[in-house]
Structure 1
Amino acid sequence: MTGLLGGRAVVVTGAGRGLGAAYATDLAAHGASVVVNDIDLTEARAVVERITAAGGAAIASGHDVSVHDGAAALVQSCVDEFGRLDGLVNNAGLYHEALPWEENPAAIRRAVEVNVLGALYCQAAASAVLRAGGGGAIVNASSGGMFGFPTVSTYAATKGALAALTYSSALDLEDAGIRVNAISPMALTRMTANALGRDHQSSTEDGPPLAGIEDKPPAAVAPLVTFLLSDLAAGITGQFLRFDGRRISVVTTDAFADHPTVTAPAWGPAAIATAFDGPLARHLQPYGVERRIAPRIR
């Protein structure tokens, strides 16, 4: 099949519905052969049926990416079916809300298993194949939730982990010709339909971060993933991109800049407090969707 991704094969996890289904569908429309992975195999098969009905190539996978052997088998299924692997979209994820002292240990563990271990296991398996094949691309689905929303600390932590994974893996895989990028998509899905961001308003914006999300379908976000998996994105790696189907932005890190600093020959708690009451006070960072002023200078 011809197209931007003609002759290539891609694995998309969590692709039975929502954003994952949109990614898989758009990738196939641009010529890629796609493994549509979802723990709900019925939904994965439904996406495959839509892709093949439109003339695309796809197979369904019900492998559990939170299990190492499941992730490895998923990647191998792409090689077995299509003879190659050129890209991976780590989209599978679980979302839940809870106050820290009300968290369910089982829910925490499952979120980490799917959101973090799933991405790690899939990357481990995929990178070996991509490296042997001369390169490719990986896209990790992070979230704006990592920047601070109330009652989503577990979810935010797992999505922050994917951003960190992206930065480090981009370094490790660059010489192998493998690009790694993270995205923070904004679209109306079953998860975001009742998410906190629809109600909580940032002090620096005119409305809640997810205001107007009903006008942002997953299909509008999918082209970013297609772009990142294509040769059009050559040279773009280690980036965190936010996209709502209309506005795309690069999330800056500036991790190695000259940060505000105070130096002294020796420190004690009182001297440190003086530093934070003095020159460092104005540099304390705001946190979360509802914050504009840093805590010590509110």
Structure 2
Amino acid sequence: MMLQGKAIVITGSGKGIGAACARGAARQGASVVVNDVDDSAHETAAAINAEGGTAVACVANVADWDEAGRLIEHCLSNFGGIDGLVNNAALYYLETLQDFQPARARGMVEVNVLGPLHCTGHAIGPMLRRGSGSIVNVVSGAQMGMPQMGVYGATKGAVASMVYTWALELAGTGVRVNALSPFGRTTIGGLTEEHLKDPDIARRYAQIQPPEANSPVLEYLLSDRASAVNGQLVRIDKGEIHLYTHPALLLPPVYREQWTAETVADAFESEFRDRQVPCGVLGMTGLPVELQSGFWKRADG
């Protein structure tokens, strides 16, 4: 049991992928704090305990600093410490830029971005004092660009950026930071029974992997066997595990002793013409061969 004796907090784990991962962690021996903003937290905790696992519920809104602190304290007081934190709670809406709604955007930022900041801000002290811990942020391929997911993708891009920075800041402390990019058959996007009456929607929905398929990656990242893994974003979908590439400067650069608008235009029409990276969820090896080779061409040809 890879998580035997560990105390884990999983935010947004009353339903969906979060609940599936909470059950998976408990089956691996972890004592789990199940968190959500409603009674689903109690229902999932009760189901874990009925299976013979160990779980307590904490209803709290992680978008609020004080409530996030109460959530972490709930783990400390019930289990004597905190070994793992999974920042999973999130809001999700589909909308184009033309349909932008400030209130909905603010809600996503508060839960999806401030939530991980709040929870980690409270959890990091106890972890550092113990000299060990695993933080797992939940990200999304939407951060790379998906139509109608501009705000959601922006929030997940922020969460990914936290991983890069925190991994650097915490290197050598015994506390690791990674991310899970899950994919699962849930109703987070507001999918209803009425939607599923559409044969095309029902067919595509049925092809999505179940929420439980994501749990093994999370269980591993929380375990001591992942002690050498830090700053990584891991995606799992239909039997395939991918590592995300990190944002980086594309090498080599183009150099001029002095730049003008005209010479910048010349550079984009020559050296940069075949090196511009497309948007969207793309594997590097899936790019056209001529574009792949363009990444590594020297500026002098």
- CA 1:161 to 1:71, structure 2 compared with 1: closer, same or farther past 3 Å? same
1:37 corresponding residue in structure 2: 35
Q: Distance in 2 between the 1:101 and 1:214 partners?
A: 30
Alignment of 1:220-259 (within 5 A): 220-253=213-246, 255=248, 259=251
Amino acid at match of 1:162: V
2:142/2:281 contact within 8 Å kept: no
SS at the partner of 1:176?
Answer: coil
Mapped contact 1:187–1:213 kept (Cα < 8 A): no
Deviating beyond 4 angstroms after TM superposition, the runs of 4 or more aligned structure 1 residues are 210-213, 289-294
Say which SS state the counterpart of residue 175 (structure 1) adopts: coil
Q: Which amino acid aligns with 1:260?
A: P
Give the CA RMSD over aligned residues: 2.2
Per the alignment, residue 119 of structure 1 pairs with 116
Query: Are 1:164 and 2:161 matched, yes or no?
Result: yes
Aligned to 1:70: 67
Q: State the shift of 1:151 in Å.
A: 1.3
Q: Give 1:215 shift.
A: 4.6
Cα distance in 1, alignment partners of residues 206 and 244 from structure 2: 20
Partner of 2:93: 96
Identify the match of residue 190 of structure 1 among 177, 187, 190. Answer: 187
Distance 2:179 2:205 in 1: 23
Match of 1:50 among 47, 52, 59: 47
For residue 133 of structure 1, report the CA deviation from its aligned partner.
1.4
Which of 139, 142, 146 does residue 142 from structure 1 map onto? 139
How big is the shift at 1:174?
A: 2.0
For the residues of structure 2 that align with 1:58 and 1:245, how far apart are their CA atoms? 29
CA displacement at 1:70 relative to structure 2: 0.9
Instruction: Please tell me whether the aligned partners of residues 260 and 283 of structure 1 are also in contact (alpha carbons under 8 angstroms).
Output: no
Tell me if the contact between 2:185 and 2:205 (Cα under 8 Å) persists in the aligned partners. no
Structure 2: give runs of 5+ residues left out of the alignment.
Answer: 192-202, 292-301
Question: Per the alignment, in what secondary structure is the counterpart of residue 124 of structure 1?
Answer: helix
- Other structure's SS at 1:248 match: strand
Q: Within 1, Cα distance between the matches of 2:219 and 2:76?
A: 20
| Residue number in structure 1 paired with 2:172 | 175
Matched residues in 1 for 2:268 and 2:63: separation? 43
2:126 is the alignment partner of 1:129: yes
Within 2, Cα distance between the matches of 1:58 and 1:134?
24
* Cα deviations by residue, 1:16-35 (Å, 9 ceiling, x for unpaired): 11000011000001110000
Percent pairwise identity: 40
**Are the equivalent residues in 1 in contact too, given 2:5–2:30 (CA < 8 A)?**
yes
**In the alignment, what sits opposite 2:270?**
278
- TM-score normalised by structure 2 residue count: 0.87
Letter in 2 for 1:35: V
- The one-letter code matched in structure 1 to 2:272 is L
Partner of 1:9: 7
Q: Distance in 1 between matches of 2:47 and 2:240?
A: 28
Q: Secondary structure at the match of 2:60?
A: coil
Residue-by-residue CA offset, 1:99-145 (whole Å, 9 max, x unaligned): 21321111111100000000011111111111111211010000011
Letter in 2 for 1:226: E
Given residue 286 of structure 1, which amino acid in structure 2 is its aligned partner? P
1:111 partner amino acid: M
CA distance in 1 between partners of 2:180 and 2:26 (Å): 20
In structure 1, how many angstroms separate the alpha carbons of the residues matched to 2:206 and 2:78?
Answer: 37
**Residue 163 of structure 1 aligns to a residue in which SS?**
helix
**CA distance in structure 2 between the aligned counterparts of 1:180 and 1:66, rounded to whole angstroms:** 20
Alpha-carbon offset, residue 212 of structure 1: 6.8
CA contact (8 A) 1:181 1:238 kept: yes
* Deviation at residue 211 of structure 1 after TM alignment: 5.5
